[in-house]
Amino acid sequence: MTIDNKNNQSVDNPYQMALKQLEQTAKIINLDPGIHKILSKPKRVLTVSLPVKMDDGSVEVFTGFRSQHNDARGPFKGGIRYHPQVTVEEVMALSMWMTWKCAIVGIPLGGGKGGIICDPKKMSKTELERLTRRYAYAISDIIGPYTDIPAPDVYTGGQEMAWIMDTYSTLKGNYGEPGVITGKPIAVGGSLGRNEATGRGLSFTVREASKRKNISMNEATVVVQGFGNAGQFAAQLVEEQGAKIIAVSDTQGAIINKNGFSVNELIKFKKENKTIKGFPSSTETSNEELLTTECTILIPAALENQITGENASRIRTKIVAEAANGPTTPEADQILYDNDILVIPDVLANSGGVTVSYFEWLQNLRREYWTEREVNDRLDEIMTRAFGEVYDAHISYNTNMRTASIALAVKRVAEATQLRGIWP
């Protein structure tokens, strides 16, 4: 556990991590103390109790959250996760990071995040539907196409988003309102390219980072920790650029093959077996060994606090591209920076998802829909520009990429906050 000695607080707590990052950034950009105080706290955090009738007739009461961090630049935007370890501090931190993420890529949205403490793997589809609709009902007064637009996150997807859209639409007037949420199936207003957007956006930043580090993707080796949606598409798309995937993990375990895997075969195997363990021609390894495997590019695509002060010095890679949110602690960030490892921080690397969510929202509001090529080309343009701006800032400020990216974001949000003023 990393301790912030000044405040005697654990910074492995995601919210304390987020506050620590903001504090470091405020010093670099000489942030106005009043604006710093405003940005340190979410505008609103809602906690809801969610009674749900289970399939066996019993009633369980789940706890859900929705954190709305900042809307100075536009409506709140952020996913909803279902996980047994969801906490209000985690949701608050993620909503703050969403604010920075939207500002970094230059889209007119603010940060929000939601979560429910549950284990969706132990629930039936009908139980998940009742839970999702109850949650949508509970937060319906604070979400909307011009106020707060949720999206999928850990263990949620298009089906849950469709249920939320339907519940909200019925509550608010019995007409379809696709703009209330993104990440929907195509049939109910989703965007082409949305499902793979996080991985595709990350692959664009990896491409740009490899240019700055003079790395040939045809000679690059890649380790992927976490083989869910983001991890799978990231692996697939960097493989298309010529890289070789040599190690992968999921919730059941980790495997390695220095000769490389076929990502498509891995995806097929996991779909059939629910895990990558046992994949032919692979050797099982531990999660810790996977993280410290020598490679060109490491992609943490699991949960928070995976690269810490305890293991950062053993990370042997040139680029860390964070598909997950908050996988690297502040202490680890400094160690990686000192070891000349370029970290593409989560607020930049995985912002392809929110960028294409923004595209989906625009399409919903206009009731018009774009081709997949148009979506991908626009995403490429935004991610390439954002990476260049962050990289230049990291050189200019003589600091790591995370601090540089948050510095850019905070300056943009602070400017919007100052221009709008405090009223009443």
Which two three-digit tokens encode residue 345? 């921080």
Tokens of 226: 């976490």
Is residue 113 among the annotated active site residues? yes
Q: Are 96 and 69 in contact (CB under 8 A)?
A: yes
Phi-psi region of 175 (alpha: psi -120 to 50; beta: other; left: phi over 0): beta
Measure Cα distances from 106 to 72, 127, 390 in Å. Answer: 13, 38, 12
Cβ neighbourhood burial of 99 (10 Å; 0-12, 13-18, 19+): buried
Q: Which long-range contacts (CB under 8 A, 24 or more apart) does 414-417 make?
A: 414/31, 414/32, 414/35, 414/39, 416/72, 416/73, 417/35, 417/38, 417/39, 417/70, 417/72
The catalytically annotated residue of 113, 184, 244, 270 is 113
Residue 80: other Cβ atoms inside 10 A: 30
**Contact at 8 Å (CB) between 68 and 139?**
no
Please identify which residue in the block is written with the tokens 């989560």: 346
Please name the residue ranges forming H helices in 30-177.
33-39, 88-105, 125-139, 158-172
Q: Residue written as tokens 């003589």? A: 398
Q: Is the CA virtual torsion 353, 359, 364, 370 positive or negative?
A: negative
* Strand ranges inside 278-411, DSSP E: 283-285, 297-300, 319-321, 342-344
Widest distance between CA atoms in the chain:
65
Which residue, 240, 273, 387, 406, is CA-closest to 330?
Answer: 406
CA dihedral 261, 264, 267, 273 (to 10 degrees): -80
- Catalytic residue annotation: 113
